[in-house]
Structure 1
């Protein structure tokens, strides 16, 4: 989780939950439905690389953004907890449009909507802000967690046609709801950590 003791693996898991590759699978397949099958995997990998570049830039430039607005670690952590809570609720109760929203389709998308906002979306960028502010002396480890989360997410999205054949809509929906429940629990822990930090300052 996002506590004082940093863990690359647990941080990577949080990032995977926020990126939500399983929830993105049906959206990606819908976007690429008019693209020849042989081109789909190449497009997915290209867009994943674009998304990684955007996330990396935001991770290392996010601290500058926080300093400009004089944001404290506890404030960012509590805000992140609220964001995670909302994301988790949307994953558990996606509504008619699903948790990923409707991005439309294109014969061959470029940057939008796969790289942004499916991969490097507002929720993931906000998470990187929280991580960067909470672990200013461990940005290298945060970057390692980002790479790990990106590799796993990229593999899931790369295999999206196969995953959809195996799990179909109901299986993917069940996985997404499970990830949402876990993210809700993590958000509560983040909120507790933030409040504990505020109390210790008095």
Structure 2
């Protein structure tokens, strides 16, 4: 076992910033108003299963279509970079339409385990040990579950400005991580040939 607190912390922060559950509170609240109840437990469990499954089979899927992890990590770095720009500037480059129901589909996927999250998981796999990424996923899902359960209270405590500040701070962190991810993996590609 290669448990490493630094790896868990970094992977955890990347996933926290990409999942951006605090930034999704307005969507969660409007879903709750529409349907009356958000299935927090179900959404959290399904999101965990999707993320862990992708961590293990994602690489096989890539090799099946002839893409190595480093190339995918470079592509992932671009996606993370654009997500960071969205968070820092408060703009929407690409966002799914607001879901209509609060079932597994809109919350577990794509709100929690969306394209950005899955790309980040594979990008992290190119750099960190699998067990550390799994611990980071579990920590994030626990946090997501707490936020889903108490979204109205969190919005009242932090207010719109508080949520915006948190988003911008994590946007900057995410951008720095995207640059590091790009630099590390582009080096690998150039060294071993594309």
Q: Which residue of 1 aligns with 2:54?
A: 58
**8 Å contact 1:27–1:100 — kept in the other structure?**
no
1:183 to 168, 174, 177: 174
Q: Which residue of 2 aligns with 1:68?
A: 64
**1:170 maps to 2:155:** no
Q: Which residue of 1 aligns with 2:100?
A: 105
The superposition leaves residues 119-174 of structure 1 with CA deviations (integer Å, 9 ceiling, x where unpaired) of 11111111122233445xx3233212211222223223322111111122222122
**8 Å contact 2:62–2:69 — kept in the other structure?**
no
Q: Which residue of 2 aligns with 1:3?
A: none
Structure 1 residue matching 2:33: 3-state secondary structure: coil
TM-score by length of 1: 0.82
Alpha-carbon spacing, 1:98–1:130, altered in 2? closer, same or farther (3 Å): closer
**8 Å contact 1:77–1:134 — kept in the other structure?**
no
Number of residues paired by the alignment? 189
Structure 2 residue matching 1:105: 3-state secondary structure: coil
Q: Which residue of 2 aligns with 1:132?
A: 125
**1:24 maps to 2:15:** no
Q: Root-mean-square deviation (CA), in Å?
A: 2.4
Q: Which runs of 4+ in 1 moved over 3 A?
A: 97-102, 132-135, 198-202
Q: Which residue of 1 aligns with 2:75?
A: 79
Structure 2, unaligned runs of 5 or more: 1-5
Take 1:72 and 1:127, find their aligned partners in 2: how far apart are those partners? 15
Structure 2 residue matching 1:33: 3-state secondary structure: helix
